């Protein structure tokens, strides 16, 4: 009897250990699998979205931001689709002629400076202290060769203007001969100097006989200033102005109006988590957007001009 009792206790102890081991193995798997399934269901949403358009005036933006707050809508400020600190770009400070057009909170994303029709420098501003410089050719089918680079004196001049460097400092950033080539551009040079955007903008304005400004944004805030000397393009600057994302929930659906500082506009309605394949009547979502437009101080009849597309989800 004593033996059976000890055997029973040993079996109970064995089963307890086995149960603990199973829990140790299965619980993390269950949590991981459940989290994965939840993410699949949550992000598998149906939605309607519009093509972007432009209202033709930057005067709407500040009024819309104010009215959205007054109406109690949720608002988020973005640059394209990211917060200001998350997107590469340079805050240039006050530049004559640009603030009245772009506002005081725009970013300079990048610029191209042309040596010829087929060869140019492209500079991307990673932040206020770091820039990426590449040398491009327009022939996408041929390997860009070192002998197609702009004249070294011209490169040095441009670096001096943008980064305020001496000739010796510029040379330290430029390889003597061993340029690494990747298809149509040379491997990027990272410059860790504060760029003088005012100086390069002034240089392009001075060299240009004509310029254009493409401000036909569509909600995300991209716009381009292009400079010409006669028929020769000498430079392009790519700006980003902020946009505000205004959202309103009705049931499971979230209605979003996105407008940028230059009057670009984009609409979207998400039908909620797990809504794959779900639809709603067109007159229903247009009616909601018209009500939002009225609250925001936008002409509600504009909603009729938007064409919407549908995505049913399922990744």
Q: Which helix (H) or strand (E) holds 135?
A: strand 131-137
95 and 226 belong to one structural domain: yes
Residues 142 and 247 in one domain: no
Lowest-confidence region among 108-122, 125-139, 163-177, 205-219: 163-177
In this prediction, residue 297 carries a pLDDT of: 97
Residue finishing a domain among 212, 240, 268 = 240
Asked if 235 and 94 sit in the same domain, the reply is yes
pTM of the model: 0.80
Whether residue 96 is found in the same domain as residue 211: yes
Question: Region 269-286: what's the mean pLDDT?
Answer: 93
Give the residue among 284, 294, 300 at the shortest CA–CA distance from 251. Answer: 284
Please give the pLDDT value at position 175.
61
The arithmetic mean of pLDDT across residues 101-129, rounded, is 93
Same domain? For 90 and 233 the reply is: yes
User: In the chain, pLDDT over 70 holds for what percent of residues?
Assistant: 78
Residue after which a domain boundary falls, among 240, 270, 300:
240
Radius of gyration (Cα) for the chain, nearest Å? 29
- Residue 169 pLDDT exceeds 50: yes
Alpha helix (H) ranges present in 73-151?
Answer: 99-102
- Average pLDDT on 38-65 reads 81
- How confident is the model over 141-168, as pLDDT tens digits? 455 566 667 888 898 999 999 999 988 8
**Residues 188, 232: one domain?**
yes
Question: Residue 9: what pLDDT?
Answer: 58
* 140 and 209 share one domain: yes
Statement to judge: residues 213 and 184 lie in one domain: yes
Task: Say what the pLDDT of residue 224 is.
Answer: 96
Cα–Cα dist 132/125, whole Å: 6
Looking at the structure, tell me whether residues 219 and 287 fall in a common domain: no
Range of the domain at 64: 45-79+243-311
30 falls in which pLDDT band (50, 70, 90)?
A: very low
Q: For residue 232, what are its two tokens? A: 């020769």
Band of pLDDT at residue 41, cut at 50, 70 and 90: very low
pLDDT at 18: 62
**What CA–CA distances, in Å, run from 152 to 122, 133, 170, 230, 252?**
15, 14, 10, 24, 60
With a pLDDT cut of 90, the percent of the chain lying above it is 59
Which residue(s) pair with 265 in the sheet? 53, 259
Q: How far apart are CA 144 and CA 139, in angstroms?
A: 8
Token code pair at residue 75: 């608002």
Q: Which of 207, 224, 240 is the last residue of a domain?
A: 240
What was the pLDDT predicted at 195?
Answer: 95
- The whole-number pLDDT of residue 49 equals 96
The residues, ordered by sequence, that sit 6+ positions from 287 with a Cβ below 8 Å of its Cβ are none
Q: Based on the domain organization, do 281 and 214 belong to the same domain?
A: no
The reported pLDDT for the residue numbered 201 is 97
Same domain, 291 and 214: no
- Name, of 24-33, 172-181, 247-256, the range with top average pLDDT: 247-256
pLDDT at 3 over 60: no
Q: Is residue 260 part of a domain?
A: yes
Q: What average pLDDT does the structure give for the chain?
A: 84
**pLDDT value, residue 34:** 38
- Section 256-268 average pLDDT: 96
Q: Which of 217, 266, 221 is nearest to 240 (CA)?
A: 221
**CB neighbour list of residue 227: distance below 8 Å, 6 or more residues apart:** 204, 205, 207, 208, 210, 211, 233, 234, 235, 236
């Amino acid at each position: 009897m004593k033996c059976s009792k000890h055997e029973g206790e040993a079996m109970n102890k064995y089963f307890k250990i086995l149960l603990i081991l199973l829990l140790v193995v299965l619980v993390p798997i269950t949590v991981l699998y459940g989290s994965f399934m939840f993410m699949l269901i949550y992000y598998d949403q149906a939605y309607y979205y519009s093509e972007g358009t432009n209202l033709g005036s930057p005067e709407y933006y500040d009024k819309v931001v104010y009215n959205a707050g007054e109406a109690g809508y949720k608002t988020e400020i973005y640059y394209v689709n990211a917060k200001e600190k998350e997107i590469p770009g340079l805050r240039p400070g006050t530049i004559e002629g640009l603030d009245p057009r772009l506002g005081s909170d725009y970013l300079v994303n990048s610029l191209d400076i042309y040596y010829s029709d087929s060869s140019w420098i492209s500079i991307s501003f990673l932040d206020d202290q770091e820039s990426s410089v590449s040398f491009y050719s327009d022939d996408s089918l041929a390997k860009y060769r070192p002998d197609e680079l702009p004249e070294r004196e011209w490169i040095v001049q441009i670096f001096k203007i943008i980064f305020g460097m001496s000739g010796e400092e510029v040379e330290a950033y430029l390889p003597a001969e061993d340029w690494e080539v990747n298809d149509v551009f040379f491997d990027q040079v990272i410059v860790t100097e504060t760029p003088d955007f005012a100086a390069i903008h002034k240089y392009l304005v001075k060299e240009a006989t004509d310029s254009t400004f493409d401000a036909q944004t569509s909600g995300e805030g991209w716009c381009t200033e292009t400079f010409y000397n006669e028929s020769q393009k000498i430079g392009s600057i790519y700006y980003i102005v902020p946009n505000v994302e205004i959202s309103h929930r009705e049931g499971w659906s979230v209605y979003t109006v996105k407008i940028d500082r230059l009057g670009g506009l984009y609409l979207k309605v998400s039908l909620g988590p797990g809504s794959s394949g779900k639809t709603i009547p067109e007159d229903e979502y247009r009616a909601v957007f018209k009500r939002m437009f009225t609250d925001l101080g936008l002409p509600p009849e504009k909603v009729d001009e938007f064409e919407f597309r549908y995505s049913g989800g399922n990744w």
